[in-house]
Structure 1
Amino acid sequence: MHTHCQTTTLPRLIGYARVSTEAQDTDPQLDELWAAGCAAVLEECASGDDLGRPVLARLLRDIQRGETLVVVRLDRLARSVSHLLSVIEQLEARGAHFRSLRDPIDTATPQGMFSLQVLGAVAQLERALISERTKAGLSAARSRGRVGGNPGLRAGDPEAIRKARARRDAAYLETLVAQLDTWLPTVRRMRPDQPWGDVVRVLNQNSTADWTPERLRRIVQRLAAEGIVEAELLERAKPQQGADRLVRLVAGIAVAAPDRTLQQIAAQLEAMKERTPRGGTRWHPSSVRHLLGKAEKSGLLGLNR
């Protein structure tokens, strides 16, 4: 990967160029991206079917509000319409935009958003048609006495089993990548300074998810193995004193839900059955404010609150 920088006016355009093999050349894509006014261009050599693209994952993680991810063609970014829509959802969650130079897609314009909505409708229709054809095919097969499914799997063929597992594994990884923005910022903010149990309690309070420490640890381990997240997140949690732990816990809650008021954070701590610094069970906004002040001095809040 090469990252090039040049002076440009806001909003910043961030280019992404991809080739499938080392034998291919990204220069034609680079020329178009620079000509479009990109302030930086990131290059990656990976198959379009590869869901664990570390350069793209890092770009989606680091892109800032108001910036625009730019590609030459849609197939340089996504392997399917559903994958494209998933990536755009991640960008929208970060307040960023998407533009394809050779396609009528620019989420910063009404026309581009309309084209995106058309793509979404096409994807929905495609899924419905596939489902209808599958049901009709299975019904016709049953009427002829044939059993559906993979015959290799039914016969216990090792290669068929391996391929089926690989497909399930790829689909699982795609789901994880699509949902990163809902939980990964909290994990990055709290780990490895706090134990998995505390991270899970914050995540479960801020969403409808039902995390467990072991499930969260396994998922982060998998993403770290793919190079999508930092391996440091898996390090053993450091021993903590009571006051230090509360500061980090309140910082994690504040960053995970930046719109929450002091009173709401206090209510969340009570729901989590956390004791106050003095050992009480009732939290007051002033206590939360005091801990947030310590967290800010320690650099735990960053620029998110």
Structure 2
Amino acid sequence: MTTNLVGYARVSTAEQNPQLQHDALEHVGVIRTFTDYASGSSQDRPAWQECLEFLQPGNVLVVWKLDRVGRSTADLARIVTELGQRGIQFKSLTESFLDTTTADGRLIFHIFSALAEHERSRMLERTRAGLEAARKRGRVGGRPSTMTAAKINAARTMHAEKTPIVEIAQALGVGRMSVSRALAKERTSKSD
């Protein structure tokens, strides 16, 4: 198993200079550095994808700072965990506590991951509580229905004339499932 250091650098815009990151990565002996010019929230990070494909078991992914890789604690924990499952270690140069090549670094990462999991769980709890409170006030989440009262009446009439659902949907400019759900809801409310 080889231990090659592979670097990843990211700056938010093409006007910013990644040289500080490159110098730091080169100083520790990185064999290759992948650089993106995109914000951390951008899904379009081609160098990041190329880096992930390049990494092999036994490699160590080295970054100058944690925020160069992940957008949040949970995101970073997921990335480092996935790398670990592939036999790839992770090291941050400025946050020396996160270095999975050492026993202490692995311990800190597990604590870090547990905190991220706790953060996710708390967020889900708050979301569920908020949705429940909204439901009690009569609010229903989700997008507004594309089926207005006029469209439901038209769909009901067309359906009574044995017009296929697909044709009804095309005529009303809505999806087939929207028509099916509206008609099913009509049938359910009549049977109650």
The two structures share one fold, judged by TM-score above 0.5: yes
Partner SS, residue 98 of structure 1: strand
Of 77, 88, 100, 1:85 maps to 77
Q: Is the 8 A contact 2:74 2:119 kept in 1?
A: no
Normalising to structure 2: TM-score of the pair? 0.67
Q: How does 1:165-184 map to 2 (within 5 A)?
A: none
Q: Offset of 1:34 from its aligned partner? A: 1.7
**Counterpart of 2:165?**
none
Normalising to structure 1: TM-score of the pair? 0.43
Partner SS, residue 106 of structure 1: coil
Q: Is the 8 A contact 1:20 1:48 kept in 2?
A: yes
Q: Deviations over 1:150-184 (max 9, x none)?
A: 5xx3276xxxxxxxxxxxxxxxxxxxxxxxxxxxx
Partner SS, residue 119 of structure 1: helix
Residue 53 (str. 1) matches residue 70 (str. 2): no
Q: Is the 8 A contact 1:82 1:123 kept in 2?
A: yes
Q: Offset of 1:50 from its aligned partner? A: 2.4
Q: Point out 4+ residue stretches in structure 1 off by more than 3 angstroms.
A: none
Question: Quick check: which has more Rg, 1 or 2?
Answer: 2
Give, as a single letter, the amino acid of the residue that structure 1 aligns with 2:79: V
**Counterpart of 2:14?**
22
Pair 106,154 (structure 1): closer, same or farther in 2 beyond 3 Å: same
Q: Is the 8 A contact 2:11 2:17 kept in 1?
A: yes
Tell me the distance in 2 between the aligned counterparts of 1:127 and 1:86.
12
**Counterpart of 1:128?**
121
CA RMSD of aligned residues (A): 2.0
**Counterpart of 2:23?**
31
**Counterpart of 2:163?**
none
Q: Offset of 1:101 from its aligned partner? A: 1.0
Give, as a single letter, the amino acid of the residue that structure 1 aligns with 2:51: L
Partner SS, residue 102 of structure 1: coil
Q: Deviations over 1:69-118 (max 9, x none)?
A: 10011110111233223322332233221101122111111111111111
Tell me the distance in 1 between the aligned counterparts of 2:59 and 2:5.
6
Pair 94,131 (structure 1): closer, same or farther in 2 beyond 3 Å: closer
Tell me the distance in 2 between the aligned counterparts of 1:45 and 1:118.
31
Q: Is the 8 A contact 1:91 1:97 kept in 2?
A: yes
Pair 86,129 (structure 1): closer, same or farther in 2 beyond 3 Å: closer
**Counterpart of 2:103?**
110
The size of the alignment, in residue pairs, is 144
Q: Is the 8 A contact 2:6 2:59 kept in 1?
A: yes
Pair 97,135 (structure 1): closer, same or farther in 2 beyond 3 Å: same
Give, as a single letter, the amino acid of the residue that structure 2 aligns with 1:125: H
Residue 71 (str. 1) matches residue 63 (str. 2): yes
With CA pairs under 8 Å and 6+ residues apart, which has the higher RCO, 1 or 2?
Answer: 2
Q: Which segments of 5 or more consecutive residues in structure 1 lack a partner in the other structure?
A: 1-9, 157-305
Q: Offset of 1:138 from its aligned partner? A: 2.3
Q: Offset of 1:40 from its aligned partner? A: 2.1
Partner SS, residue 22 of structure 2: helix
Give, as a single letter, the amino acid of the residue that structure 1 aligns with 2:28: A
Q: Offset of 1:47 from its aligned partner? A: 2.1
Partner SS, residue 154 of structure 1: coil
Give, as a single letter, the amino acid of the residue that structure 1 aligns with 2:24: E
Tell me the distance in 1 between the aligned counterparts of 2:82 and 2:124.
27
Q: Is the 8 A contact 1:60 1:90 kept in 2?
A: no
Give, as a single letter, the amino acid of the residue that structure 1 aligns with 2:113: G
Q: How does 1:239-254 map to 2 (within 5 A)?
A: none
